[in-house]
Amino acid sequence: MDKKIIVKNQFNKQAEKFSDWSITKNTEYLQRYSEFCGMVPEDRLLDVACGSGEFSRFCAKNVKCVYGVDISEMMIEIAENQAIADNLGNTRFKCHDVENIPVEGGAFSIVVCKSAFHHFLDYGRVFSEMIRCCEGGGRISIQDIVSYEDTRANDFFEELEREIDISHNKTLSKEYIIDLFCQNKIEILGTYEIEIDLNFNEYVNHATQSGDNLEKIDHLLDYGLGDRDIAGYFTTMAGELFFKRNVFLILGRNRQNL
């Protein structure tokens, strides 16, 4: 089956779980990213792979207009329904492949992609579309998890990510993301990296699991906790298991369309 169809089907199945996940709903994270991007009332925001639209709707009250695009029909349905419930007249959503975004070039003052690059098959194509849609002098930003520096740990967590969520493709390094900006002549305005602790059970349950998946996840977890080096990325707080992830934010200015 085509990988894009797998991604679409998976997110359609788990749209409500993803939307209800505490990380998706975390207003502190939404606020931090909005502030990092320097959102202003005049901004026209394009949210690429917007999911169920939490960041789009969070920003909508403080910018001129928002347009969110995602490949999943169910994600877009949730986003649209919530925008109506929130009475957001300046917000639109579209179900579409983000490798070919259906908008005119230079239509937005800021283009962002939050927590989605690890799902993409063609990073360069998506980034080229982000640049095309951004006006000259506008801002472009990516926020996503990044790979672990330790190769063994990264290989372990990549296998774990794919078992938890079949739509996971590859976690990029922060160096790769920085290079993506530099190669495309996007002036880097700022970067920020933060280590977060993710609740393991919540993380597993933010996606749709089968009994077979859960068995494989349990085996992998046992292996990881039994490995001295990998076990260092796990911790227990208040009786709950957590694991460490680094999240990377980057903001640049589009010099291509000047």
93-127 confidence digits (pLDDT tens): 999 999 999 999 999 999 999 999 999 999 999 99
pLDDT in tens, 174-209: 999 999 999 999 999 999 999 999 999 999 988 887
111 contacts 48 by C-beta, under 8 angstroms: yes
Q: What is the mean pLDDT of the chain?
A: 94
pLDDT in tens, 229-249: 999 999 999 999 999 999 999
Residue 23 is predicted with a pLDDT of: 85
Quickly tell me which residue has 């006006």 as its tokens: 135
Calculate the CA 200 to chain-centre distance: 18
Rounded (10°) angle between helices 3-13 and 73-85: 40
State the DSSP H helix or E strand holding residue 252, giving kind and residue range, or none if neither: strand 240-254
Closest CA to 186 of 136, 123, 125, 114: 136
**What band does 258 get if pLDDT is binned at 50, 70 and 90?**
low
Residue 257 is predicted with a pLDDT of: 64
β-bridge mates for residue 45, sequence order: 66, 110
**What band does 81 get if pLDDT is binned at 50, 70 and 90?**
very high
pLDDT (mean) for 38-50? 98
Residue 208 is predicted with a pLDDT of: 82
**Amino acid at site 137:** G
pLDDT (mean) for 132-147? 97
With 80 as the cut, is the pLDDT of residue 137 above it?
Answer: yes
With 90 as the cut, is the pLDDT of residue 135 above it?
Answer: yes
* Of 11 and 147, the one with more pLDDT: 147
Calculate the CA 256 to chain-centre distance: 24
Tell me which DSSP letter residue 145 carries.
Answer: E
For the ranges 42-46, 58-62, 91-95, 209-213, the lowest mean pLDDT is seen at: 209-213
**How far apart (Å, rounded) are the C-alpha atoms in residues 127 and 124?**
5
Residue 200 is predicted with a pLDDT of: 96
Percent of residues, the chain, with pLDDT higher than 70:
99
**What band does 1 get if pLDDT is binned at 50, 70 and 90?**
low
Closest CA to 113 of 70, 173, 163: 70
**How far apart (Å, rounded) are the C-alpha atoms in residues 75 and 81?**
10
**Amino acid at site 116:** A
Architecture field, domain 3-147+168-197+248-254: 3-Layer(aba) Sandwich (3.40)
